[in-house]
Structure 1
Amino acid sequence: MAALAPPVAAIRVAVRRALTGLSSDGPVLVACSGGADSLALAAATVFVAPRLGRSAVLVTVDHGLQDGSTERAETVAAWGREVGFSSTTVVPVKVAGRPGGPEAAAREARYEALAEAARQQKAVAVLTGHTRDDQAETVLLALARGAGPRGLAGMPARRELDGVPLLRPLLEISRDQTRAACAVLGLSPWQDPHNADPSYARSRVRADLLPALVRALGPGVVDNLARTARMVAADNAALDELAETALAAARHPAGGLSVPELVGLVPAVRGRVLHFWARELGALPGALSHRHVAALDALVTDWDGQGPTDLPGGVRVLRRADRLSPVDPG
């Protein structure tokens, strides 16, 4: 028996680890665009899942942004049926008219479609093909945008997508490995022209910045950036736990938050407490920024009688003596 090619073996092991961590029964859903990363993920999942007693379903999202996108999506779905997925689905989405730039709009539409497909299929998890290289790019973009610890933590290996776990099994796998796995398996990945379009920030990072860093600092820079994300994510988790405890302790008997309790917190924890509380009040998570949290913090640490702080979503917060409280919109 011929030895299994190392890239194929590594990806199958990564998928097996991700699926073994699932507690409930049911199918797993693989998001597949037809690119090398998601194609290698899909091939590994359709091999591994049945051996763990699970079925696997494939979903490909048609963003409708390029000529021939529908035909390409149908080709991916047909491949999925050929290799043994229990079902395959093409989901068309509308990207135009959504807030934010084109990348953010396409991402939002894609995740909405995956969440809906997971509900329809009663899937216990959604798998995406983000790799270690994607993680390194995410960290660099977050650093350039001043995103802070949450941005530097990159993409989590697991998060909730409308109540369904979204798993990224390949965050320890390189893009070269997914390409090599596709070559070994005789798969022909689709080359997304958007990945080479310099009008997209991620494309510029991928084509220019990250290769320049590798040339200047050596090939280990990609793994080092991804490792940084893992370490920052662990620190974030610890600080979030402290902040949740501190938020409970800071709740004022008359409503809102107690200023003396907030003053006694270290800034890193207090900022998270204020962020969590702002979201509780209805501040829009996607628009809630460091600037808004800093304005809330000024009500605690630098208050001289200033008026309410405005948060995205129409939320206003006012300091009254020793407490912060939301302003009644009525």
Structure 2
Amino acid sequence: MEKMYETRAMWSHYFLWDKFFGYIRTTSQCKGINSLIRFYVNRKNTLIEFMHNLDRALKEYRNNELIANFKSQCSEPVMITSLEVYERSASCYFTRNIFKEICNEIQRAGALNIKVLSTTLDKVEFSVTALGDSAKDRQVEVDRSKNLFSCSCKLFESRGIPCSHVFYSMKFENILEFPNSLIYKRWTKNAKNEFISLEMLVNDDVEKVLKFRVGALASNCNKLCDIACKDLVDFDEIQSKLVKLVIRLQSRKQGKSTPNVNVEGINDPFVVKSKGAPSKRSSWRKKRACSNCHKYGHYYKHCPDLMQHSMQGNPCD
């Protein structure tokens, strides 16, 4: 017990209150991965079955990650709080799961009271208390010159999420833009872009090399799209260059020279006649023949042969 007490700074929650762990917890605190693998792996599996089932569990993990990335990049959440300016700014930077937790902190800011403790030229200190519970007192310090925020609850230092006390201080200071000091890079939508190396690894596995190349190109394309889409001139320039580049690469793969194609204006494709039966409204129609003489230009009732027989006294039914 004495030896454990000497190392209390390494395991006690009080000493680790301001340390960031990125939601990494021990297996005694998180049983999620055990419950997931339990559906794929059991003690009756052979070694080969165990490896195949474990690979299926990892594929489900990766599929869930792809679905979460798609929702974060290609969908917009519904604004539910009264501080919409902060909520909309957070939706542009953070992923969907982190955005939900930030919305919870923005909602808690509505049940807080604030009091100014001290004010200087660049810094101001607040005392933020919960409505109806003055015992839960938190001190928030705001650096106006550097646009920095610090709270005694240490939520941003431990989890990378701004707390409700900071949001209420921003509201009191009439800060309309989400400060960069409260944006933790790990929880943003483009967190992986800077961690993909541009150097190609030497590997005999062709599939892994192709995946690496796709990831590196996708990272740079995402950065290019974020920069070029904000200006119309940049957008037109990048669009024309990309079309030329695609045509040049396609012609190189086909073993042909680069065709002289004017890509300044891209129009709609030519309309060609579709296959299948003609439309009922078409002007082309099949001519009808006489059922008696099988000639065109008249019908059975007006057939000349029948009229000639009738005039000769040989009527035909």
TM-score (normalizing by structure 2): 0.25
Structure number with greater Rg is 2
